[in-house]
Structure 1
């Protein structure tokens, strides 16, 4: 029993470790490779003209947004070199002077300050890597109403990769930041600073942890005004220069083709120059107007645009670009105005919210609204209304909206969208403004029971209520949620997000959804985003919400078995993977499912998955030891689930509850995944052999597989051959009892990363492909790891060509 418990804990640790690596870092690297190829295909000389009709908007491949997350920079080399020379300067040593010096750049909104600041950061990190100018770099957007604590969290994220959201006390947060910056030469970008004087109390708080850095640290400030750019006593304030005419035109035409082949046609170039001249060197206007032109490569459309009188003013140019969008896309974009400026907007969340509000229109019954909505996003990205954001800590896709576009949205959305930015910073001020009575979509930055009771419950037309954060010291009174359900019956979206620490300090550590939830008869999107330490009790009345499309409980533990099968319109379910629910097979519209656990009880058979062919993204299937035959496994019909990209198959239990190795082999044979699968994880498999679809003896398996992880596989002898996966880029082998790796490894000519952990029986390595860039070998046979470190040893020779190796 003790050994079994130890193994279980190892597998739990493996689960965390493997997930963290495979689904974030490694998946991103695969994506990076694909993006490179995609960018080549997108070049103006190879593209095909796109149309903005409803049929063409749908993105049938459900792939990531392929537009580069970083704008191409034109004509800024001189400014870059000037800034780099200042960054290389060594500050004179003085006990009184701070460890850092400051450079300020100022210019009007939309002049390219943020793009240039990020360009400078990337230039330092990539082009100046060998110089080691700085120990750490941080790029922080400040905004007009910034929170010092939020900025400290963002600094920690840039330094350590972790926001340290669990730290809510200001002094503790500052102490942590002090520790991380102590003695380090840092480069800090403070983008869009609004303060005017160095005596601003928040600014003083903001810079106090920076004093522990090493001499030679630098701060680059961008601001709209000269005063704000010099608020930190910038030694020099530089006005953001206009691009020269030729560079501006190059930028304009770079974005104008947008995947079309017009760039080399003389007439388009002539008309394009006329349009560019009207835009008065405004970068944001160039990107927005050019993006719209690129979606319509008709020369008459370009000529009509050139004759348009609205393009000479930046805001008018943005308005023209906005007006030329499809009306349904405009409505979706207007909805984004409920979010605070510069918020990171998660792609999937936008898609689900738009659909819940009925903003997304499909042109035929077989077309999924999610596909159409992703097409909307692609359209908004093409004209830079949504700007992709890089977040290395997450595999999800995020977007931001430029401040000038928020100004535009504020005018067109009017009072229909509203946000309550009741930040709880050290100013100690509450929110005391009025809420428009005709508001339909409302975002509340922090949960506040009094605010809800006094100003929100009377909003009769409210369709959206999002409470973004429940602070750690603010309990959610269930009577308040009950009042919302009773007083706001027209809601289509109700979302409450608990902070992790808030859940942790609740005395009962429980949250009960009130029975009155049944009165929200129009709700499509219901989210109580809690954490694993919180138990969520759901009432049976929830089954009366027949329109519900999305349920989101995040990591909360649902306390009882729930008859979700009655919610026949459910499309997305987010919750802790331990949830069990019977008769899942009725939910044929289901697209997102965190986990399905097979058991020997009625309603939990693997055949429940048979008709769920709209499932997409990730799927974890547990309890496969309860599947007793190949015929039973085939009833899962996994091969038909063409939208699945990430599949995890798990066996568990001891020898008394497991089938024979031969039966397990038959079961895995019957669980053949779809052809388009990209990531496959197999855990706890004890079958006597590997299936034909894995070893290349039959067609129809996941031939495009890029990431394979095998853990806890107990077969003796050599590991499985990988003939079926010629496109494999990442291979992970954990806790496997193989005596050797497959002999055909060198045929995996695209393999980039190889991870081997806790495989005690492997004593030698086969010939490895030259393509491998990273090897991780840990807790394996001592002699194997020693030989890999011994120069001249055959194992050492087989890994000598790998640039990045970790052995230990």
Structure 2
């Protein structure tokens, strides 16, 4: 039965927290009545990978890709919404759709909804839950809930009268939840006796489709148009208010005479009215149209909207809106069917596979559809937009973001009615006369994952685009057409606006011409100076850049003034703001004096404030605080004031020895150390030199600066130790600094980086912070231990704790007392004293990462029943590493541990999905093969190790094989039948010049080559390869271009990305 609440009930199950916690992967697939196995398999792949599926034509390859992507050890929930079993299609289609789940042996649960009672065999046996009509009492209760929702304050006598009429109406309605909601919502909008009586007397409410038609008839005329237009899209298509509203605006379905509301506002309002009427239902992060309302919309729009998906159907001549999905082979034939639609207004053309030349398609479209307003094309692989696009003068909406077009022809600037323009990231420049499109409301460029980029290529005279709704980033230039005054006429800008290069403003009058105060639709404003202004005009300029009073978020970056603008100090402005970020404002010494009056502020970011010396009392409303690189900000406890600073010192000899050992094994670690040291020496100048204590050690650091890079030597490290000692003495022997650092009681995320806080102050500020969920400590050289157990045990909601470059950290304190910690990461703490049995880790831990540290052999031997992911990189470890009893382990990544010879305990982890053994030169392969039972993904860095693995009888080949950081000039693979099982081959940052033959990889489907600059050419590839990606390999990329020496090796591959 339609409208019984099947989808709604399935959504409650899908979103239940218990279900989320039980299933490692959940997928929701809305099915089409004409089962499209290829498209639904792609949807499943995208659900798992969270990115667009490659453009593949072969179902077997798609199914293998889905099988590879599915987790081997986690349970999977697959929801199939609106199963429609057509016996004419047969069982084979359903068997093919569900084939990738056949090997899950009970780990995959399928929940499906259907209006029918006849199900395909692939879904049997089923536990059949039939949703019938609601009992009269339950239906009446539900109906009363909806028809009086929000009417609690109406006159009691009127409410009683209406209630009596409503009770009588329910007796005429079908007893489905949808009927109660639809009729109840309409009655609630008009609480008048006359309307309710008219509804009671309406004889056409006895079946559900009549109820839906009655609801439609009571919609506003403009909203009715918007409703039936949605039938153009297939059932189960996902929508958002943003993208549907743009269609409606381009088609003139929305008009307004209200100066305070634009058409976008009304479009959003229309969409949410449809949601309130149950026309749209939330799924994942978007909405789908209720299938019964979709049926109604199709009936109402049968003479206006037409959808053709790989089928032969006659097209009525009255059609004005067409949705066409076709294969490349029958594209021209299907286009010819609609060529006689002279009044066509909308064409959404989805061509399934890549095509190099679409000029003939554009010729057909521009010749036959002169009145077209909306054109959306999926043309993967197509690179040239013909000049004839300029002939489509009535076009208002052009979406070609799913193409490879590199530039727009100048003729685009003749599309004077254009309102919405959406382009792919391959477009690097825009026509200089784009500002001729004075009706343009939105222009966006999307990356390959269909995420809108923040910045556009430069366009002069943007001030002509007076209808523009969004402009994320504007760069001020000392050139005509790029002045800040261009923003002055853009009064409808909304969302986020970032103004960059404000140092190019000479006078406050130029800033005032931007008229920011009048842009009342702006929500977020970012003001950025890229360098200090030469004339020191920052204060005058920022005074003139007064934002609108209802601004929600403000970021100021690079401001060199020592005074805040007066508008920021006004109570009305600061009270309403919910986010304040100050970055690289090196002359500011404190926050705005009235900041504690900001009762709605949730986010505070203080970054790179070199002179900030104090904080006022912070608003209790804050949930996120970031304090990063504020060297003069000092926090300590009262009882620490008289300490001499020895508690923060390190043993100079052992510390230098440790850091030099880490330096020897990792260039990456060396770069981190150099950056941190350079910043540290600069921060010393801000602190210990405050009282003219400029140390001789700082001169040593200066003398060791090689160009811009600091040379890492024992002299420099010793200089740091001496400066650090002076800093600690200064910190504890002077009255400078706050004695307390009180955090807001609702705080959820705290980041402290490169500032001065003592052990005691850290403990005091964290004490009792029951709402804290994430804690990040970076580059804090003044702490030697994490807080004790009596402090950390109160952090009941802390899930994530990360420490990075806390060089003097010696103890993890009461870490094990954290009751619900899931993720712990420690990096660059070479003084850390780790207990041999490592009982410091809490038993709830799931993710553990350690980098640039010195580790004991039994680091993972504790009671860690939940630990799933372990990553150890650039660490000094003993010859043997024991995995203990980590029965939940799914991923083990060991990278650049030069002394490691043996790994013990791999046999206890049959469910491991990922094993990375990279840059382990001493590792004895036999120690791995004695107990390893295989993994889905294996990364190594030596073909010698690989060949040793291949020679073992116990070797279980992975689905993905990766070679990372291989230093061998030539990789050699010994012939092995094991290669037949490998479906994906990855090469990452290898120094290899020659690749081996891949003839034994007979089932290889995907090849990825990343940052392998020495590779000279591709070998011949197996015919099974369907996808190849090459990034950061300039020589190889050039060879693989069309007409290049290696082009013939990849030209038949269905999906290739070369950059």
Question: TM-score normalized by structure 2?
Answer: 0.57
More helix by share: 1
CA contact (8 A) 2:562 2:589 kept: no
- Greater shift, 322-331 or 796-805, is seen at 796-805
Corresponding residue for 2:98?
A: 207
Asked if 1:384 corresponds to 2:264, the answer is no
The answer to whether residue 297 in structure 2 is matched with residue 404 in structure 1 is no
**Within 5 A, what are the aligned runs for 1:752-771?**
752-755=623-626, 764=635, 766-771=741-746
1:359 counterpart SS class = coil
State yes or no: 1:139 paired with 2:21: no
CA–CA distance in structure 2, aligned partners of residues 470 and 803 of structure 1: 48
Give secondary structure in 1 for the equivalent of 2:622.
coil
Question: Measured at CA, do residues 760 and 572 of structure 1 come closer, stay the same or move farther in structure 2, by a change above 3 Å?
Answer: same
C-alpha change, 1:364 and 1:141, in structure 2 (3 Å) is: closer
Q: Measure, in 1, the Cα distance between the counterparts of 2:523 and 2:38.
A: 38
| 1:798 to partner: Cα distance | 13
CA distance in 2, matches of 1:263, 1:183: 60
The aligned residue for residue 220 of structure 2 is: 326
Counterpart residue number, 1:29: none
Aligned to 1:782: 779
The 3 A distance-change label for structure 1 pair 709 and 180 is farther
Q: Following the alignment from structure 2 to structure 1, what is the Cα–Cα distance between the partners of residues 337 and 613?
A: 66
Contact 1:773 1:804 (C-alpha < 8 Å) held by counterparts? no
Partners of 1:775 and 1:149 in 2: CA distance: 46
User: Is the deviation greater in 269-278 or in 252-261?
Assistant: 252-261
Match of 2:384 in 1: 511
Is 1:591 the counterpart of 2:481? The answer is no
Please report how far the alpha carbon of residue 360 of structure 1 lies from its aligned counterpart in structure 2 after TM superposition: 1.9
Deviation for aligned residue 1:488: 1.0
SS in 2 for 1:528: strand
Match of 2:12 in 1: 119
Q: Counterparts in 2 of 1:532-547, with a 5 A limit?
A: 534-539=405-410, 541-547=411-417
Q: Aligned partners of 1:320 and 1:341: how far apart in 2?
A: 22
Query: Equivalent residue for 1:416?
Result: 304
**1:485–1:520 contact (8 Å) kept in structure 2:** yes
1:565 aligned partner: 435
1:639 equivalenced with 2:517 (yes/no): yes
How many angstroms does 1:665 deviate by? Answer: 4.2
Q: Alignment partner for residue 423 of structure 2, among 553, 578, 582?
A: 553
| 1:241 paired to 2:132 | yes
Distance 2:613 2:66 in 1: 44
**Does the CA contact (< 8 Å) of 1:672 and 1:701 recur in 2?**
no
1:749 to partner: Cα distance: 1.3
Alignment of 1:695-734 (within 5 A): 696-699=568-571, 701=573, 703-711=575-583, 713-714=585-586, 722-723=595-596, 725-733=598-606
> What SS is found at the alignment partner of 1:297?
coil
Question: Secondary structure of the equivalent of 1:537?
Answer: coil
Partner of 1:474: helix, strand, or coil?
Answer: coil
1:676-687 equivalent positions in 2, closer than 5 A = 676-683=550-557, 685-687=558-560
Partners of 2:462 and 2:487 within 8 A in 1: yes
Cα distance 1:633–1:443, how it changes in 2: closer, same or farther (>3 A)?
same
User: 1:628 & 1:714 partners in 2: Cα distance?
Assistant: 21
CA contact (8 A) 1:134 1:187 kept: yes
Between 371-380 and 286-295, report the one with greater CA deviation: 371-380
CA contact (8 A) 2:63 2:100 kept: no
Counterpart in the other structure of 1:664? 538
**SS in structure 2 opposite 1:645?**
strand
Q: Assess if the C-alpha contact under 8 Å between 2:31 and 2:236 holds in 1.
A: no
What secondary structure is seen at the aligned counterpart in 1 of 2:128?
strand
Q: Is 1:195 aligned with 2:85?
A: yes
Distance (Å, rounded) in 2 between the aligned partners of 1:257 and 1:560: 54
Structure 1: how far apart are the matches of 2:785 and 2:424?
Answer: 43
Count of residues in Structure 1 that have an aligned counterpart in Structure 2: 660
Q: Distance in 1 between matches of 2:566 and 2:137?
A: 56
1:184 Cα deviation (Å)? Answer: 0.8
Tell me the alpha carbon deviations over residues 144-174 of structure 1, each in whole angstroms, 9 at most, x when there is no partner. 23444544454455556x1443474753664
Corresponding residue number in structure 1 for 2:549: 675
Identify the residue that residue 646 of structure 2 maps to in structure 1.
Answer: none
Greater Rg, structure 1 or structure 2? 2
For residues 443-467 of structure 1, what are the alpha-carbon distances to aligned partners after superposition, in whole Å with 9 as ceiling and x for unaligned?
Answer: 1235754146422333211111122
Q: Secondary structure at the match of 2:99?
A: helix
Q: Give structure 1 stretches of 5+ with no counterpart.
A: 1-107, 392-397, 423-430
Instruction: State whether residues 625 and 659 of structure 1, in contact with CA within 8 Å, keep that contact through their aligned partners in structure 2.
Output: yes
Residue equivalent to 2:359: 478
8 Å contact 1:418–1:441 — kept in the other structure? yes
Q: 1:600 to 1:661 in 2, by over 3 A?
A: closer
Please state if 1:183 is matched with 2:73.
yes
Greater shift after overlay, 515-524 or 700-709? 700-709
1:95-118 alpha-carbon deviations (Å, 9 max, x no partner): xxxxxxxxxxxxx12211111111
**Following TM superposition, by how much is the alpha carbon of 1:713 offset from its aligned partner in structure 2, in angstroms?**
5.0
Superposed CA deviations along residues 689-731 of structure 1, whole A, max 9, x for unmatched, are: 363358x523564642223444555558566664464311133
Q: Which residue of 2 is the match for residue 487 of structure 1?
A: 368
For 1:441, the equivalent position in structure 2 comes to 321
Q: Counterparts of 1:148 and 1:316 in 2: how far apart (Å)? A: 34
* Aligned residue number for residue 207 of structure 2: 313
Q: Take 2:406 and 2:373, find their aligned partners in 1: how far apart are those partners?
A: 25
Cα distance in 2 for residues equivalent to 1:799 and 1:762: 26
- Structure 1 residues 785 and 222: CA distance shift in structure 2, 3 A: farther
Q: 1:743 maps to what in 2?
A: 615
Q: Tell me which of 369, 374, 395 is aligned to 1:523.
A: 395
Q: Specify the SS of the correspondent of 1:557.
A: coil
Query: Which residue number corresponds to residue 626 of structure 1?
Result: 504
**Distance across 2 between alignment mates of 1:119 and 1:414:** 34
What pairs with 1:429-468 in structure 2 (closer than 5 Å)?
A: 431-446=311-326, 448=328, 449-451=331-333, 453-467=335-349
Correspondent of 2:458 among 563, 568, 580: 580
Closer/same/farther in 2, CA of residues 480 and 666 from structure 1, 3 Å limit = same
Deviations 1:317-354 (A, max 9, x none): 11111111122211221111111112112212222222
Per-residue CA shift, 1:731-786, capped at 9, x if unaligned?
A: 3455x254768523x53211123345677776659321011123355786433696
Check whether the contact 1:118–1:139 (CA below 8 A) recurs between aligned residues.
Answer: no
Give 1:315 deviation, angstroms: 0.7
**1:312 & 1:226 partners in 2: Cα distance?**
23
Shift of the 751–472 alpha-carbon distance from structure 1 to 2, 3 Å rule, reads farther
User: SS state of the match for residue 576, structure 2?
Assistant: coil
Match of 1:369 among 233, 242, 263: 263
Q: Distance in 2 between matches of 1:612 and 1:194?
A: 50
The 1:493/1:756 distance shift into structure 2, 3 A limit, reads same
SS at match of 1:325: coil
Q: Is the 8 A contact 1:759 1:780 kept in 2?
A: no
Post-superposition Cα deviations, 1:192-239, rounded to whole Å, max 9, x if no partner, equal 222368972332233233345475543222212222277411342221
Spell out, residue by residue over 1:458-505, the C-alpha distance to the aligned partner (whole angstroms, 9 max, x if none).
3211111122x444523351342133122211112222244xxx34xx
Change (3 A) 1:731 1:153: farther
Alpha-carbon distance change, 328 to 697 in structure 1, aligned in 2, over 3 angstroms: closer
After superposition, the C-alpha distances for 1:4-62 in whole angstroms (9 at most, x for unaligned) are xxxxxxxxxxxxxxxxxxxxxxxxxxxxxxxxxxxxxxxxxxxxxxxxxxxxxxxxxxx
Q: Determine the C-alpha separation between the residues in 2 that align with 1:358 and 1:368.
A: 13
* Aligned residue number for residue 801 of structure 2: 806
SS at match of 2:142: helix
